[in-house]
Amino acid sequence: MNIDLSGRIAFVSGSTRGIGRAIAEGLARAGCAVVINGRDAERVTATVGELERDIPGATFTGVAADVSTAEGASVLFERLPDVDVLINNLGIFGPQPVLEIEDDEWRRYFEVNVLSGIRLARHYLPGMTERGWGRVQFIASDSAVVTPVEMVHYGMTKTALLAVSRGYAKAVAGTGVTVNTVIAGPTHTEGVEEFVAELVGADVPWDEAQARFMAEHRPNSLVRRLIEPAEIANMVVYLSSEYASATTGGALRVDGGYIDSILP
Ligand SMILES: NC(=O)c1ccc[n+]([C@@H]2O[C@H](COP(=O)([O-])OP(=O)(O)OC[C@H]3O[C@@H](n4cnc5c(N)ncnc54)[C@H](OP(=O)(O)O)[C@@H]3O)[C@@H](O)[C@H]2O)c1
């Protein structure tokens, strides 16, 4: 399968590091022009420069904007009125006892993790349907399906994305535009490396730390290791391609078999 996205433009929210950056890289390697995003202008510029250096011939631009707010989204829409591929990757997470989460924190999680993607999809979908082609994806998590007791507010937002994605897919039925959610499992990002070090000790070599973390804290994983961000990106690139034209309204798992379920 030769995925060729040349001529397409993609926006990836929250792409200066982690899974978003790997998605940006994967799309660019398939020939797509990619717009990098984060809140900090220096980090956006640095990421664009690094990716340009790593992938000769690829086209990257950057938009620094906090797309969890209406103002930030307006800045983006002015700079980038249309896209062919929208990847709603931005998401925050962190542990908090559920009975201690106040209204404002519930709202913040909803606004950053859910409303940001709703707003961007609402803006970009009409152009995609007019042109008769488009791809929208939301990056959810195993926490959408297996509510983590230490992050109920986070799980709630990821469950909500499944409904939003399914609903938007119905709204654009028959137009050539697809809308899907990718359910990522525990992934090897900088933040997760710190989290693992906290749990098993900072002086333990990475391979051993990862193995202990998976055995003790994520025993349901069938791959028995953290997922690499590029493995999530592979699914996103496929879903962004012509080959995935019959896949819409779905939730596709790249969770290393973590969710104990036969159905996707
Ligand atoms: N890591 C995992 O194990 C895992 C597992 C399942 C699902 N996921 C999901 O995958 C997605 C990415 O996770 P990650 O771990 O790769 O995240 P991450 O490492 O924390 O990266 C977050 C990115 O988003 C940017 N960002 C944060 N707030 C922003 C805002 N308001 N507006 C624009 N950009 C913003 C950050 O850049 P700035 O700080 O410069 O703004 C950074 O580029 C999230 O939706 C997460 O829920 C992650």
| Tens-digit pLDDT profile for residues 75-94 | 999 999 999 999 999 999 98
pLDDT at site 198 = 87
Q: How confident is the model at residue 25 (pLDDT cuts 50, 70, 90)?
A: very high
Q: How far apart are CA 175 and CA 133, in angstroms?
A: 7
- CB count in 10 Å sphere of residue 53: 9
Residue bearing the CA closest to ligand 1, atom 45:
91
The token pair that represents 219 in the structure block: 């025993």
- The closest of 227, 147, 156, 146 to 185, measured between CA atoms, is 227
DSSP 63: E
CA distances from 109 to 93, 158, 260, 264 (A): 8, 10, 26, 26
Distance CA 95, CA 112 (A): 16
Task: Give 78-115 as a DSSP string.
Answer: HH-S--SEEEE---------GGG--HHHHHHHHIIIII
Residue 162 confidence (pLDDT): 98
Percent of the chain, pLDDT > 90? 93
Which pLDDT belongs to residue 217? 87
Task: Summarize pLDDT for 112-159 with one digit per residue, the tens.
Answer: 999 999 999 999 999 999 999 999 999 999 999 999 998 999 999 999
Residues with a CB atom less than 6 Å from ligand 1: 13-20, 37-40, 43, 66-68, 89-91, 93, 112, 139, 141, 184, 186-187, 189, 191-192
- Tell me which of 34, 35, 39 to substitute to probe ligand 1's pocket, judged by most ligand atoms within 8 Å of the beta carbon: 39
**Ligand 1 center–CA 236 separation, angstroms:** 16
- Confidence (pLDDT) at 264: 79
In angstroms, what CA-CA distances link 12 with 25, 68, 214?
10, 13, 29
Contact 187, 229 (CB under 8 A): yes
The answer for residues whose C-beta is within 8 angstroms of residue 85's C-beta and 6 or more apart is 5, 8, 9, 10, 11, 27, 32, 134, 135, 136, 137, 240
Supply the pLDDT for residue 134: 98
Per-residue pLDDT band for 229 (boundaries 50, 70, 90) equals: very high
User: Strands of 9-12's sheet, edge to edge?
Assistant: 60-64, 33-38, 9-12, 85-88, 134-141, 177-184, 251-254
**C-alpha span between 157 and 141 (Å, rounded):** 10
Cα 204 from Cα 225, distance rounded (Å) = 16
In this prediction, residue 227 carries a pLDDT of: 97
Q: What is the per-residue pLDDT across 183-212, written as a single tens digit (0 to 9) for each?
A: 999 999 998 998 899 888 889 999 999 999
Whose CA is closest to atom 7 on ligand 1?
A: 141
Instruction: Give me the chain's average pLDDT, please.
Output: 96
Q: What percent of the chain has pLDDT over 70?
A: 100
Q: Looking at residues 10-16, what average pLDDT do you find?
A: 98
